[in-house]
Amino acid sequence: MASLAGLVAEFPWGMNSELNFFRALFGEVLYLFLFVQLLWAQFYGDPPDKTHPWAVHDNNRPQPPRIEPGEILGTPPSDAIILFDGTKESFKANWKHEKHKRKKDWKVINGALIAVDGAGDLLSKATFADCQLHIEWAAPSKIIGSGQGRGNSGIFLMGITEIQVLDNYKNPTYPDGFAGSVYGIMPPMVNALKPPGQWQTYDIIFRRPVHRDGKALDEGYLTVFLNGVVVQDGTPLEGGGLHKDRSRSRSFPVKGPLKLQDHGNPVQYRNIWYRELRQRSVEGGTDGELSYEATTTKRAEIAASIRKDATTKKGKEKLLRLMESLCYEEDAVAITDAEKLRSEFIDQVKINPDSYKEDIIQVNNAVKYLIKHQRMRVDHPHIEILEKIIKNNGWKVKNN
């Protein structure tokens, strides 16, 4: 036998090749175990239940979409929507002034967008809600003022909830108004600021409050990293925060603009981009724990798509797909069709079982899985026939 290193180096990799490689290396029993793991994944983890439409380790679940990350941490990934890239064109294309009557504008100088006293707040033209937001800012290097009067600006998610921008490097103020605070709600955990004049980085994960019929389904929350240090960790929004007044649980619009505050100080911004987040289950997302109704609907949808795929297959492959669909939804036609295909399969393989060894074990395991999870009756005659074939041939099979 070749050395392990030689086998690894020379082996033509790919799933079937890998299986044969392991077969050569570890022998029949382990090979069968691996075969089970790789090919029978659909009869592997716990099946869908009343509040989870997907099985555990469900291969029917869509693969996460592929995106290209930024080359350096902080640069936008391929699916980011860029709100400011350092150019005047980008400023014009993506932002508008909140104030209609004004004598001044924000400025773009050396790749930075600078707040100008009296120009008023900026609103992004894009409206959005749940997001990952990246934004960099710098307070003026020339220190003027103190407390809330030093390097004050702000980043308002949906134009409502402010993540404070302030030069707090050596500048105490009320903690729920610190840089990195959810203004009026929650101080940052730590003060991780760099000195004024240096660029600071916020990475923000925002979830808006969701209300339905006057009831909060999710109060919304914020996570913030300041210069890579977590300063807000799933902080509940408690209505989104106000100046002086205590905000109360409230509904937010579906979407809103990002707002940058003109608080009278020439704070600079650069490298502003966001990515939308996947839907939470309260908004129709189908990952995680769902309501019974949403789960039932999604399970029916998955089952229908598997049954549709089954129509493109024949014989054992079709049988397995139909059996798989029964894990998501009981369906009289699928049960009858699977029954018929399984009878045909048994008739076909029982004459010369040796040449169908893997197929027989595969179907047997699928049957046992359905029985274990109450998708098939315990005393179904097919289980006895398949087990008998396996026993008579002395095949050792590891159960799921």
Q: Which residues bind Mg ion (CB under 5 A)?
A: 152, 154, 261
The CA angle 30-320-27, to the nearest 5 degrees, is 10
Contacts of 14 (CB under 8 A, 6+ apart): none
Task: Tell me the closest approach of the beta carbon of residue 120 to Mg ion, in angstroms.
Answer: 14
Structure tokens at 279: 């839907």
Contacts of 204 (CB under 8 A, 6+ apart): 131, 132, 133, 134, 135, 155, 157, 163, 222, 223, 224, 225
Task: Tell me the closest approach of the beta carbon of residue 181 to Mg ion, in angstroms.
Answer: 10
Residue 161 has, within 13 A of its CA and on its CB side, a CA count of 36
Residue closer to Mg ion, measured from CB, 42 or 181? 181
Task: Tell me the closest approach of the beta carbon of residue 51 to Mg ion, in angstroms.
Answer: 41
Task: Tell me the closest approach of the beta carbon of residue 153 to Mg ion, in angstroms.
Answer: 6
Residue closer to Mg ion, measured from CB, 44 or 137? 137
d(CA 241, CA 186): 9
Residue closer to Mg ion, measured from CB, 47 or 151? 151
Task: Tell me the closest approach of the beta carbon of residue 100 to Mg ion, in angstroms.
Answer: 22
With 0-12 / 13-18 / 19 or more C-beta atoms within 10 angstroms meaning exposed / middle / buried, residue 64 is exposed
Q: Which residue has its beta carbon closest to Mg ion?
A: 154
Q: What element of type H or E holds 335?
A: helix 332-349
Task: Tell me the closest approach of the beta carbon of residue 208 to Mg ion, in angstroms.
Answer: 20
Q: What element of type H or E holds 293?
A: helix 292-310
Residue closer to Mg ion, measured from CB, 152 or 281? 152
Amino acid at 355: S
d(CA 324, CA 313): 13
Structure tokens at 376: 């098939």
Task: Tell me the closest approach of the beta carbon of residue 266 to Mg ion, in angstroms.
Answer: 14
Residue closer to Mg ion, measured from CB, 178 or 356? 178
Task: Tell me the closest approach of the beta carbon of residue 148 to Mg ion, in angstroms.
Answer: 7
Residue closer to Mg ion, measured from CB, 117 or 330? 117
d(CA 194, CA 174): 19
Residue closer to Mg ion, measured from CB, 47 or 140? 140
β-pairing verdict for 268-276 and 131-138: antiparallel
Task: Tell me the closest approach of the beta carbon of residue 184 to Mg ion, in angstroms.
Answer: 11
Residue closer to Mg ion, measured from CB, 152 or 325? 152
Residue closer to Mg ion, measured from CB, 182 or 306? 182
Residue closer to Mg ion, measured from CB, 232 or 261? 261
Measured in degrees and rounded to the nearest 5, phi and psi for residue 95 equal: -130, 155
DSSP E strands in the chain: the ranges are 81-84, 95-97, 107-109, 112-114, 122-128, 131-138, 153-157, 161-165, 200-207, 210-212, 215-218, 221-226, 229-236, 256-260, 268-276
Task: Tell me the closest approach of the beta carbon of residue 155 to Mg ion, in angstroms.
Answer: 9
d(CA 258, CA 81): 12
DSSP E strands in 334-387: the ranges are none
Residue closer to Mg ion, measured from CB, 152 or 364? 152
d(CA 264, CA 209): 30
Task: Tell me the closest approach of the beta carbon of residue 61 to Mg ion, in angstroms.
Answer: 42
